[in-house]
């Protein structure tokens, strides 16, 4: 069976250009992840959670039928024109190339104003209290401090643990208002490659270190307000809220 992709991120396109084979890493209701031998990741799925620079977008019908024959570990033949599974082909030739949005720094004050109205008090009863995050965020600006993000990396459950999503939010604010000491950015870049978290989180954090984020995050800076922030909150079971909490803490408690 031949299926059609509607959009492809430029990072996904680059990975397909340089990899002839990839394997299925994980499968969900709305999509699946494929990786190469270096664990570089491409997400293939619906637009339910927005667009990703390392993503390929397909419709719900296609995802429903692909899931029927897809299994974790399946090998795929890949190139920029198609992804071939032994039961189907995903045609990429007509897919629109998705160029990731650069982070807009023009509306930082508006982002700060909009996010401060959200209530994150429930985090204070767990591992990510405002006191803990405040100390981490303060230490990030101090090159003499011990690596502060070690506490957050990999902490939590799921394909993107809560601590990692908060790091993504912190790195987003760093793109708006640089404040993290270079030493800590370098340590984070090497630390996440030591199998300390999931490969999905590793992919998100590596891209965030380069200033690359999903559309749901960059939309906040492009159009600050409840609409864009509520859209981020819908991302995953808790990923969007964890990311927004990281943004909130960094903008308002630093």
What are the residue boundaries of the structural domains of the chain, listed by start?
2-98, 108-252
Element spanning 8, H or E? strand 7-9
Q: What is the pTM of this model?
A: 0.90
* Gyration radius (Cα) of the chain, Å: 18
Quote the DSSP letter at residue 27: E
- Cα torsion 227, 231, 237, 243 to 10°: value is -90
Q: Show pLDDT as tens, one digit a residue, over the chain (254 residues).
A: 999 999 999 999 999 999 999 999 999 889 999 999 988 999 999 988 778 888 999 999 999 999 999 999 999 999 999 999 999 999 999 999 987 778 989 999 999 999 999 999 999 999 999 999 999 999 999 999 999 999 999 999 888 999 999 999 999 999 999 999 999 999 999 999 999 999 889 999 999 999 999 989 999 999 999 999 999 999 888 999 999 999 999 998 75
- Cα–Cα distance, 241 to 75 (Å, whole number): 34
Burial 79-106 (b: 16+ CB within 10 A, else e): ebebbbbeebbbebeebeebebbebbee
- Cα–Cα distance, 244 to 65 (Å, whole number): 33
- Cα–Cα distance, 215 to 222 (Å, whole number): 10
21-27 and 31-35: which strand pairing? antiparallel
The pLDDT value recorded for residue 254 is 53
């Amino acid at each position: 069976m031949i299926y059609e992709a509607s959009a492809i991120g430029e990072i996904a396109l680059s990975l397909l250009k340089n990899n002839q084979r990839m394997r299925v890493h994980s499968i969900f209701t709305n999509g699946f992840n494929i990786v190469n031998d270096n664990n570089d990741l491409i997400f293939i799925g619906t637009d339910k959670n927005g667009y990703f620079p390392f993503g390929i977008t397909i419709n719900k019908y296609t995802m429903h039928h692909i899931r029927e024959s897809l299994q974790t570990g399946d090998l795929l033949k890949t190139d920029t024109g198609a992804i071939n599974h032994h039961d189907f082909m995903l045609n990429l030739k007509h897919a629109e190339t998705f160029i990731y949005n650069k982070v807009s720094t023009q509306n930082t004050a508006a982002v700060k104003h909009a996010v401060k109205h959200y209530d994150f008090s429930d985090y204070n009863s767990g591992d990510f209290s405002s006191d803990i995050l405040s100390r981490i965020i303060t230490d990030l600006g101090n090159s003499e401090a011990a690596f502060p993000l070690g506490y957050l990396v990999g902490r939590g459950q799921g394909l993107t643990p809560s601590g990692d999503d908060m790091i993504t939010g912190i790195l987003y604010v760093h793109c708006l208002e640089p404040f993290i000491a270079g030493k800590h950015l370098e340590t984070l870049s090497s630390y996440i490659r030591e199998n300390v978290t999931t490969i999905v989180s590793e992919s998100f954090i590596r891209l965030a270190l380069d200033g690359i984020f999903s559309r749901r995050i960059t939309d906040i800076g492009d159009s600050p307000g409840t609409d864009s922030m509520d859209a981020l909150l819908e991302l995953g079971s808790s990923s969007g809220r964890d990311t927004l909490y990281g943004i909130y803490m960094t903008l308002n408690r630093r």
